[in-house]
Structure formats: C-alpha cells, structure tokens
Structure 1
Amino acid sequence: NEELLKPKSKLTNNTHFGYNVLMFGFDSISRMTFIRFLPKTYSYLIQQLGATVMKVGDGTTAQFMAMLTGKTGLELPESRHGEKGAKPVDNYPWIWKKLNDAGYITQWTEDEQHIGTFQFRLSGFRHKPVDYYMRPFYLYAESKYFRKTTTENVLCFGNMTRFKTMLNWIQDFYNTYPNRLKWTLGFHAQYSHRDTNNLVPYADQELYEFLYEMNKTGHLDNTMLIIMSDHGQRYSELRSTYQGKLEERLPFMSIRMPPKFQQSTYVHNLRLNSHRLTTPFDIHETFLHMLDFNENYKSTTNRSYSLFQLIPTNRTCRDAGIESHWCACLQWKQIKDFQELPLINEIGQVVINYLNDLLSVVEEECARLELFKIHDVYELIPDKMMLKFSVSKDKDNRVRLFNEPEDAINALLKEQELKYYQIQLETRPGNGKFEVTLGYNSKHKKFDIEKKHMSRINEYGNTSHCIKFTKRKLSDICYCKKQ
C-alpha cells in the first residue's frame, strides 16, 4: 500500500499544516440534538479531548458542497438529475484533489447509498474520487443484506452494526498508514435521516469507544478532529415549531486540535470564533489555510475566513453569503391573528400559485395543489445593532446609518418598502407542509419568491414517484395523480 500511494510532493513545516484531518458527520442532527442524544460522546469531546464547539452556524442543505468545494451549487457546472447538460461531479474543485497533490492519502465513507450526498439529486462520480472510497462496499453489502427489506430497517451487517463497520474502517485506515498524512470524511445517515432522531442514541457508546481508542493509540496526537452534522431535522414534528425552525439551521460542529497545537495563537482564534458566526465556507477556507500555513494567510473570498483567523464580531449573514431564509441571526416576529389580515391570505395564495407554476412542466403526472391551511406567519424585524455594524460594508447606500440616532433609524425602518415574511402552510392533496420566505414590496404591491427560499418540512416518502427519474428537483412539491 505504501508503494501504491507514494506522496505526490514533499512538504515542509514552513508551508504546511502537517497534521491529519478526521472529519466525521451525522445527517439531520442539530447541535441541541447531538447534546441531548449523544451525551457520552459529547462529554468525552469536551471534558477529555478539549474540543471547541462552534455555537453559531449556517444550516443550509448544501453544507458539504460548501465545505468540500468552497462553492454553492449555482456556481458549479450543472449536475442535477434530469437537467439538460448534466454531467458527473468529477471535475468540481474538490478539496481532496489539493490534499492529494500535497501528499495526503484521502478516505471517504458514507452509508445509505440510495440517498448519497452527491448521488441522490446529482449525477455522482464517474471515477473513484478519493484513494479509499467505501461506496462499492456498501453497494455490495446492501444488495446482499437488504433483499427483503428497506435499508434503514437493518441495523447490522452480520453481527456488527453498520455504524461500527464504518468506524472500524476509519480506524483500519489510521493503523495502515501511521506515518502518512491522512484526510478522512465519514458521514452517517442511517440513525438520523428519518423523520425522528430516535435511533441516534444507538451511536453514542460506539462513537465514544471509537474516539477513546483513537486517542489511546495516539492517532489523535497528530490529528485535527472535526465532529459535525449538516443540519437539524427537516421533516419531524419538532420542525413545525419555532424551536425546530432554529434547530434545522444550527447544526453541530466541534473541532479538536492536536495537543502540541493547543497553545498556539491559531487555537486561541478558533476558540474566540466559536462565539461568532461561522459557515461551511469557513471550513473549506481552513483546509486551504492548512495547505498554505502561515500567519499572513489571506482568505480567498470575501465570504469566508479560515477558522485560524479572527472572524469579525460584527459579521452578518449577508457578509457570510447566507441567504435570509437560512439565517438564524435574524429576528422573526410572529404575527398573531393573521387569519384576519388580507395580506397574509394573499401571501398564501401567491405561494400556491408559485408551486403550481413550478409543477406546470409535470402537470400530466402531478396533481394541482390547493391551499389547505396556513399554520404560522412571521415578519422579519431587522436587528438594529446588526444594521448599524453591517452598514459600513453595505452597497445599498445605508452607510449614513452607522452613527445615526435611534429615532432616525426607527423612522427609516418604518418607511422600509421591502418586507420579508416567512409562512408555514399546508397543501392538498397530499398534506404537504412548506416553509417559505418571500419578499413583499409594499410600494409596488409585488412579491419576490424563489424555490431556494422554500423548505418542505414534512416527509413526502414515495408520493412523487412518478417524476423520480425525470424531474427529481420537484420531488418535494409533486403529489402524483396515481398513488
């Protein structure tokens, strides 16, 4: 193996981070869910390993794209199933390509192949993306063990849990290459992707034992350890509540640096950053910083910072490239008695019309939707302090607000033409529940609505089977006429 995977370049301590990276994530677990359901692991991370838990983050569904490429889906070539010109994602600027060139051996494992991160909605890879790729194993194992049942109902491969199989493979990788730089990404969905997190506690003991053994054997002495999730639950009953809304947008993210690195200025900055707004783009920027490791490192884009640099205390969602629909830092004021307000009913119908417009390309297969019920409505109330601080970078002519007196700011906000609303509604047939953020221009009486600011918040299962292979991007909206 050492002969097969010779380093592609010789690294020096002056230009390179010099540590392994082990990143392990869970699907659909919020920060609070991780603390609630994985108490033994959480305690070991904090009390024994001294990990830093990032308190604020961005919970978009494209976390991995941001972390692994530094780009959004719109900035990358078309690869969505059913779209014209869609191609596999091999040519994306994956971070592991740079790491390979720098001498790292790379490893990637994730379960639940039918909902693979880059296979479910995208066209997947034509060639093996990393040095050690577990997808072929899972495809074979699933075909062997899951012939008579669905994958999520089988917890084991033989006499070993599927979760422990994944952890063992990572540990074997570290045992096989003790003297080589390694980059690992593990992602587990089986226990947490469904509409509840009831299976998540099954992972606690095995994940704790894995971390304990990795630490005991010295593997963590020279490894940057990242334990994380991509976002909170999107389809559970909790998701329909205000708490659930926040939890979807606040995933778990913890980072533990090697002991020899603990007293550096970089770790001091990391700990300060744990109380500041961070995003998946910052993780990608941190990886880039690792490959050009010096105190004068400058971020490659305005929307991202290396976590080894100090992130500004006044950073806003706008600065970080987080759209308002996903921003957990905004103040949403609940509108009570909204049934009496004509504008809210109009907003509900605007959303329904928009959904049906999207479905017009599949109107033969999908039922036309009707508004069944509006469950909740919020109006965006700008944070005045955030407005003051963000204005120095604002391109919308609001710089004068930086030192304006309070009454002047209040007057200006009152006159604001563009307002934002967030509405939770239910459609029929199918009882689909959606959360939509849209803008309303009160002067011109116009609405601004886009699909990327829309979330399906209850599970839709196989109700959109009729377009599964033709218009998968509409699967969360479509209710097939033939059920």
Structure 2
Amino acid sequence: MLNWIKEFFEMYPPYQPKFSFLLHKQYSHDTNNLLPYADDEALEFLQYMNKHGYLDNTMLMIMTDHGARYSQFRTSYQGKLEERLPFMSIRMPPKFQQQYPHLMRNLRLNSHRLTTPFDIHETFLNLLDFHSHQGEYQSKTKRSYSLLQLIPETRRCEESAVENHWCTCLEWSHISLTSSVIEQFGQAAVHFLNYFVRDVKEKCAQLTLYQILKAHQASIRNKKKQFYQIQFETRPGNGQFELTATYNQSTQTFDIKKTSLSRINKYGSTSACIAHKRPEFREICYCSMNAKMSRHS
C-alpha cells in the first residue's frame, strides 16, 4: 500500500492537486503485538516522501479509526476509551507553518480540545477554499470546526453531534447490577437486539439475557431523562455488548438506538449465514445453525 502512494506521487507532477485516502490494517487490526514490524516500513516511507520533496506542499494525516478493542481489554475502562479516542497526527508543509503561524497555533491548541471526524471534513473544506475567503474561515455547519480554527475549550458533545455513547467527556458513576432500572434496561436491550435482526430471524437465533456485567449512570442534571450504560452478555453465543440509552422518567421506558451499541468481544464467523447479504447484522446475529451444532456437540 505504501508503494502505491509512492507511485501515486511519482505519476503526477508536483503542481497538480492530489488527494489520497488509504486504509492499512495488516499489522494492527486484531492485535498490537505485530505493530513493531511496521516501524521500519513506516519510517522508510516517511523518509522517502520527505527526501523527494513530496511533503513540501502536502498536508499529511496519519490516523486510526479506533484503538485496541479486542479480547478482555475492551471490557475495561481503557478499552472503552480506545474505541472512542483514535490516534491522529497532522503534519503541515514547512512553508505553511512559516506563513500562517496563527493557524498552526490553533491546530496545536486543538489537539487538547474536543474534536470529531466532522472537524476533519470541515478542515478539508477550509483548505479547498483557502485563498478565496477573506478574514477568518466560517464553518459550513454548527456541528463542526476547521482544525485551523480555534475550537472553544467549553465545547460539548451535544453541540458537536456526538452521541452520549461515544462521548468521553461525560462523568459516569457505578450503579447496582440488581437495581430495577438496570434489570429493565437489560431486558429492553435484548428485546432491541432481537427486533433489530427481525428481517433475518429465520437464520439468527433468538437471544436471551445471560448476565449484566457492568452498569453506569451519567452525571447529568435532567429531571425528565437519565442516561444509563451497561455491558451485558447474551445466549446463545456469549455475545458481549455495551449499550447507552436514555431513560424517560415519565414513561419509564428506554430509548435505544443502534448507533449507541458496541460489540465488545469477537464474533468471528458466528454470523456467517447473513454476513454477505446483511453485513449490518454481523455483530448481533448468532446463526441458528451454530446453536444447533452446540446442542449436539
């Protein structure tokens, strides 16, 4: 893949605008143990790009879509943060750094503030329109900033279109696993999983709640709504999930969304029966054929 980027830059002249977005997962997707093998390869690539002047007029971004989120590590608090706080590194061309020190200052300060993928997109819009606007750049939407703008220290998840499930700014407190609201949440969660895959219920086993592993409540001052998060395990298949939901005090019901659900242990080929035709169900579905084989083994 890195050779492809080299050829990409070699093929087109320096003055021609270029954009490349590539995903490399060979070394790190399932384990961190192989990452050292990528060190020399990555170093050689960066030295090559710098030596040939390809970085003189290029914004280079190296980022991940998530951190380590596998095995028992994911059930820990650190594993939760790894899923929500991916690594990102940005290197601007030397001439840009010299010509626009105030923008570089903003970029560095923003590394210590709440940022989202929406901001990355806004940054691209900023750069594509860089010389046409006068004065400070104005974001196209309220939910995002260019990373070259100074992001407010007081920025919150809700104004950045970040759902509570993915927000790392919230304070959570432990709550008893046997409390009535958590027991209700657990049953509602499993009902949601079964309902979500209802279109393929003839292939996917009916899930039941085996146990609730962890339970937390967000410290938010809202008399009408409360926010809860649980880690729970289902049978058959021993699927483990993390789910965040809003509890409506007046209706005493949970508002559950698929976007607030994380699968926190590997599902491998247990959803192979629907994986190609309905990939959106892979992390939830446990194929009925697996359940039948388990009973007969």
TM-score normalized by structure 1? 0.57
2:278 and 2:46 map into 1 onto residues whose CA distance is 42
Question: Any idea what SS the aligned residue of 1:436 has?
Answer: strand
1:271 Cα deviation from its structure 2 partner = 1.1
1:291 Cα deviation from its structure 2 partner = 1.7
* 2:214 alignment partner in structure 1: 376
Aligned length: 284
Q: Which amino acid aligns with 1:317?
A: C
Q: Which amino acid aligns with 2:156?
A: T
1:469 Cα deviation from its structure 2 partner = 3.5
Structure 2 residue 191 is matched with structure 1 residue 353: yes
Q: How does 1:20-31 map to 2 (within 5 A)?
A: none
* 2:295 alignment partner in structure 1: none
Choose the corresponding residue for 1:182, options 12, 18, 22.
18
Question: Any idea what SS the aligned residue of 1:251 has?
Answer: coil
Question: Any idea what SS the aligned residue of 2:214 has?
Answer: strand
1:299 Cα deviation from its structure 2 partner = 1.0
1:421/1:437 contact within 8 Å kept = yes
* 1:457 alignment partner in structure 2: 264
* 1:203 alignment partner in structure 2: 38
Structure 2 residue 160 is matched with structure 1 residue 296: no
Question: Any idea what SS the aligned residue of 1:237 has?
Answer: helix
1:367 Cα deviation from its structure 2 partner = 0.8
Choose the corresponding residue for 2:243, options 436, 461, 465.
436
Q: Which amino acid aligns with 1:192?
A: S
Write the deviation string for residues 249-279 of structure 1: whole angstroms up to 9, x where unpaired.
0001111111111131211111121111111
Q: Percent identity?
A: 56
Choose the corresponding residue for 2:152, options 312, 315, 326.
312
Q: Which amino acid aligns with 2:254?
A: F
Write the deviation string for residues 379-407 of structure 1: whole angstroms up to 9, x where unpaired.
1113xxxxxxxxxxxxxxxxxxxxxxxxx
Write the deviation string for residues 300-342 of structure 1: whole angstroms up to 9, x where unpaired.
111111111111221111111111111111111122xx23322
Q: Which amino acid aligns with 1:246?
A: L
1:178 Cα deviation from its structure 2 partner = 3.9
1:291 and 1:362 map into 2 onto residues whose CA distance is 44
1:378 and 1:356 map into 2 onto residues whose CA distance is 23
Query: 1:176/1:339 Cα in 2 relative to 1: closer, same or farther (>3 Å)?
Result: closer
Query: 1:339/1:309 Cα in 2 relative to 1: closer, same or farther (>3 Å)?
Result: closer
* 2:28 alignment partner in structure 1: 192
Structure 2 residue 174 is matched with structure 1 residue 339: no
The unaligned stretches of length 5 or more in structure 1 are 1-165, 383-412
2:109/2:150 contact within 8 Å kept = yes
1:227 Cα deviation from its structure 2 partner = 0.9
Choose the corresponding residue for 1:249, options 80, 84, 88.
84
Query: 1:270/1:344 Cα in 2 relative to 1: closer, same or farther (>3 Å)?
Result: same
Choose the corresponding residue for 1:480, options 263, 282, 287.
287
Q: Which amino acid aligns with 1:344?
A: I
2:188 and 2:17 map into 1 onto residues whose CA distance is 54
1:359 Cα deviation from its structure 2 partner = 2.9
Choose the corresponding residue for 2:201, options 339, 363, 368.
363
Write the deviation string for residues 133-192 of structure 1: whole angstroms up to 9, x where unpaired.
xxxxxxxxxxxxxxxxxxxxxxxxxxxxxxxxx112211222232422222222101222
* 1:49 alignment partner in structure 2: none
1:321 and 1:239 map into 2 onto residues whose CA distance is 24
Q: Which runs of 4+ in 1 moved over 6 A?
A: none
Q: Which amino acid aligns with 1:193?
A: H
2:177/2:214 contact within 8 Å kept = no
Q: Which amino acid aligns with 1:214?
A: M
2:286 and 2:8 map into 1 onto residues whose CA distance is 45
2:80 and 2:245 map into 1 onto residues whose CA distance is 16
Structure 2 residue 105 is matched with structure 1 residue 261: no
* 1:276 alignment partner in structure 2: 113
Write the deviation string for residues 186-226 of structure 1: whole angstroms up to 9, x where unpaired.
210122222x2222221111101111221122221221111
2:234/2:240 contact within 8 Å kept = yes
1:227 and 1:359 map into 2 onto residues whose CA distance is 36
1:367/1:479 contact within 8 Å kept = yes
Q: Which amino acid aligns with 2:66?
A: H
Choose the corresponding residue for 1:215, options 50, 66, 84.
50
Q: Which amino acid aligns with 2:27?
A: Y
Q: How does 1:410-449 map to 2 (within 5 A)?
A: 413=221, 416-449=223-256
Q: Which amino acid aligns with 1:444?
A: T
1:451 Cα deviation from its structure 2 partner = 1.4
Q: Which amino acid aligns with 1:479?
A: Y
TM-score normalized by structure 2? 0.90
Choose the corresponding residue for 2:63, options 208, 224, 228.
228
2:142 and 2:177 map into 1 onto residues whose CA distance is 42
1:361 and 1:176 map into 2 onto residues whose CA distance is 48
Question: Any idea what SS the aligned residue of 1:262 has?
Answer: helix
1:348 and 1:461 map into 2 onto residues whose CA distance is 24
1:192 and 1:420 map into 2 onto residues whose CA distance is 33
2:67/2:82 contact within 8 Å kept = yes
Write the deviation string for residues 401-457 of structure 1: whole angstroms up to 9, x where unpaired.
xxxxxxxxxxxx3x6221111100010100000000011122321111111111111
1:235/1:456 contact within 8 Å kept = no
